């Protein structure tokens, strides 16, 4: 009888300890996530040490919890590099520690179901190792940069669905073009392709966000040989500036009296232009009539310097014209790039495990919808129906789910019934 009572007491004690451990884990996880989110609002004054300590303790209590590893990896990332300004400070030891957390997320949940901040675990691996690669490139160590890119792919970053659309993004540009991108998920895979596969190295990829840093414009000017009007010492000290709407005119040196002219508004809080805006405008001034200029599709007016009247949709990219774009011109044609876009060589499971890949691949549908809408505006219903059918065949829902396009596509279907 005594043995039974002792056994029962031990069971109760074990249950209590287990329940207490689960309770403590949940408390630490939720508190750590809350602390992380609070600090993410502070930008320059952020201190992620409290979030890190709580999330690290949570991971120790439950090493099998993917969400805890995800947020711990993010906290470790933000503790050392908050944004692109510190990207060149990345080190191998830092990359390996952060990478280990996101690798565990992917091992525990290949299709991560926990809460996300910005990037999914696969994209965070891409970002972590691309940051290290760029740090090496900035220091003049190309072989180390290639190692970092390859290591990132080996560990689960730079997945094929993302590289696939990045190839098509680069292929959408004419030879020797300048392609303005924004954000890790667009820029880093392009860097990988150009560095590792030597793919479309004729194109200069310019990340609009990174232009706000001190190091990146210098890198573009010195290493990528991108023409700029600012001297090196000016690039080091250039800052944001008060700005009222101004008429910008870039004369065409080949044809007297011809120019690209538009009104550029403030890009920040309705009163300022940022350092990066001033540098991008300078790049356009120096290269407008020598090289084709593109924005990756979807850039808003604060990114494209309010060049709307000179921009035409060209698939995954927006081409900057040297004559105003007249959307009512009957000679306007659909993007020739559409015919090259497909996902037939991609694996369904590879696509669906990454929400970021799904979102990126839906850019194909987005550009189809833009062109379908254009045809409808011209009363070309039969051609619009044909293009809709082509889109469905090239990007079937059985392989690529919707991310943000479902309502728009259904509206088009209704109009074309």
Find residue 179's DSSP bridge partners. Answer: 205, 294
- Among 135, 154, 173, give the residue marking a domain's end: 154
pLDDT over threshold 90, residue 417? no
pLDDT at 164: 97
Residues with Cβ within 8 Å of residue 156, at least 6 apart in sequence: 102, 103, 106, 121, 122, 125
Of 273, 291, 325, the last residue of a domain is 325
SS3 269: coil
Quote the Cα angle for 379-381-384, to 5°. 115
pLDDT band at 5 (very low <50, low <70, confident <90, very high): low
- Identify whether residues 200 and 291 lie together within a single domain: yes
Mean pLDDT of 283-298: 93
* Owning domain of residue 343: 338-415
Q: Domain tally for the chain?
A: 3
- Rounded-to-integer distance, Cα 247 and Cα 114, Å: 48
Whether residue 214 sits in one domain with residue 269: yes
341 CB neighbour count, 10 Å cutoff? 23
User: Residue 16 falls within a domain, yes or no?
Assistant: no
377 Cβ neighbours under 8 A, 6+ residues apart: none
Distances in Å between the Cα of 271 and the Cα atoms of 138, 223, 240, 243, 380 are 33, 33, 10, 6, 43
DSSP secondary structure string for all residues of 186-236: HHHHHHHHHHHS--STTSEEEETTGGGSSHHHHHHHHTS----SS-HHHHH
DSSP characters for 54-78?
Answer: HHHHHHHH-TT-HHHHHHHHHHHHH
Same domain membership, residue 146 and residue 36: yes
Q: Domain boundary residue among 154, 186, 208?
A: 154
Flag whether 5 is in a domain. no
- Residue 147 located in a structural domain: yes
Grade residue 45 by pLDDT with cuts at 50, 70 and 90. Answer: confident
Residue 18 lies in a domain: no
Q: Which residues contact 278 (CB under 8 A, 6 or more apart)?
A: 238, 240, 241
If asked whether residues 279 and 372 sit together in one domain, one would say no
Residue 193 lies in a domain: yes
Average pLDDT on 135-159 reads 96
Same domain? For 263 and 346 the reply is no
Q: Does residue 19 lie within any of the structural domains?
A: no
What percent of the chain clears pLDDT 90, i.e. is strictly above it?
A: 72
How many other CB atoms sit within 10 Å of the CB of residue 85? 15
Element (H, E) at 93: helix 92-108
Check if the beta carbon of residue 228 is closer than 8 Å to that of residue 235.
Answer: yes
Could you give the CA distance from residue 210 to residue 181 in angstroms, rounded to a whole number?
Answer: 10
Q: Is residue 42 part of a domain?
A: yes
Nearest residue to 167 (alpha-carbon basis) of 183, 146, 190, 188? 190
Question: Closest Cα to residue 159, out of 292, 330, 354, 307?
Answer: 354
Residues 373, 294 within the same domain: no
Q: Is-contact 189 123, C-beta < 8 A?
A: no
pLDDT (0 to 100) of residue 20: 53
Whether 354 maps to a domain, the answer reads yes
Distance CA 375, CA 379 (A): 6
Euclidean distance between CA atoms 76 and 70, whole angstroms: 10
Could you tell me where the DSSP H helices lie in 117-214? 121-138, 142-154, 160-171, 184-196
pLDDT band for position 89 (cuts 50, 70, 90): confident
Same structural domain for residues 186 and 79? no
Do 170 and 145 share a structural domain? no
- Verify that 106 and 191 share a domain, yes or no: no
Q: Are residues 109 and 202 in the same domain?
A: no
Contacts of 286 (CB under 8 A, 6+ apart): 227, 228, 229
pTM check: above 0.85: yes
169 shares a domain with 144: no
pLDDT of residue 310: 92
pLDDT tens digit sequence for 227-281: 999 999 999 899 999 999 999 999 998 888 889 999 999 998 889 999 999 999 9
Task: Band the pLDDT of 82: cuts 50, 70, 90.
Answer: low
The pLDDT tens digits for 6-38 are 444 444 444 443 445 567 989 999 999 999 999
Residues 217 and 292 occupy one common structural domain: yes
Per-residue model confidence (pLDDT) at position 4: 52
Does the pLDDT at position 410 exceed 50? yes
Q: What is the mean pLDDT of residues 375-380?
A: 88
Provide mean pLDDT across the span 293-302: 82
């Amino acid at each position: 009888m005594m043995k039974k009572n002792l056994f029962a007491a031990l069971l109760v004690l074990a249950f209590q300890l287990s329940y207490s451990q689960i309770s403590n884990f949940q408390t630490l996880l939720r508190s750590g996530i809350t602390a992380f989110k609070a600090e993410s609002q502070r930008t320059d004054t952020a201190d992620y040490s409290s979030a890190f300590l709580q999330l690290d303790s949570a991971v120790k209590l439950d090493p099998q919890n993917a969400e805890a590893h995800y947020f711990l990896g993010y906290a470790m990332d933000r503790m050392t590099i908050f944004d692109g300004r510190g990207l060149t400070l990345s080190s191998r030891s830092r990359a390996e520690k952060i990478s280990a957390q996101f690798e565990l997320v992917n091992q525990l949940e290949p299709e991560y179901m926990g809460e996300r901040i910005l990037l999914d675990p696969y994209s965070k691996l891409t970002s972590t190792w691309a940051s290290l690669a760029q740090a090496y490139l900035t220091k003049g160590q190309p072989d180390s940069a290639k190692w970092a890119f390859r290591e990132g792919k080996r560990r689960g970053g730079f997945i094929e669905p993302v590289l696939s659309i990045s190839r098509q993004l680069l292929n959408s540009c004419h030879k020797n073009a300048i392609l303005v991108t924004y954000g890790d998920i667009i820029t880093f895979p392009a860097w990988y392709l150009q560095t590792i596969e030597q793919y479309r190295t004729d194109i200069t990829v310019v990340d609009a966000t990174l232009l706000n840093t001190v190091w990146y414009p210098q890198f573009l000017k010195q290493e990528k040989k991108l023409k700029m009007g600012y001297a090196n010492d000016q690039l080091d000290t250039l800052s944001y500036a008060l700005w009222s709407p101004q008429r910008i005119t870039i004369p065409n040196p080949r044809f007297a009296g011809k120019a690209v002219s538009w009104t550029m508004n403030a890009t920040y809080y309705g009163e300022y232009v940022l350092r990066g805006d001033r540098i991008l405008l300078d790049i356009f001034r120096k290269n407008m009539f020598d090289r084709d200029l593109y924005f990756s599709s979807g850039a808003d007016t604060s990114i494209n310097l309010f060049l709307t009247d000179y921009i035409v949709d060209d698939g995954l990219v927006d081409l900057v014209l040297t004559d105003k774009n007249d959307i009512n011109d009957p000679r306007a044609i659909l993007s020739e790039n559409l015919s090259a876009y497909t996902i037939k060589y991609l694996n369904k499971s590879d696509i669906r495990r990454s929400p970021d890949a799904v979102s990126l691949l839906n850019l194909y549908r987005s550009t189809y919808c833009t062109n379908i809408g254009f045809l409808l505006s011209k009363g070309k219903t039969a051609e619009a129906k044909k293009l809709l059918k082509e889109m469905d065949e090239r990007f079937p829902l059985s392989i690529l789910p919707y991310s943000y396009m479902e309502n728009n596509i259904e509206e088009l279907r209704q109009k074309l019934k």
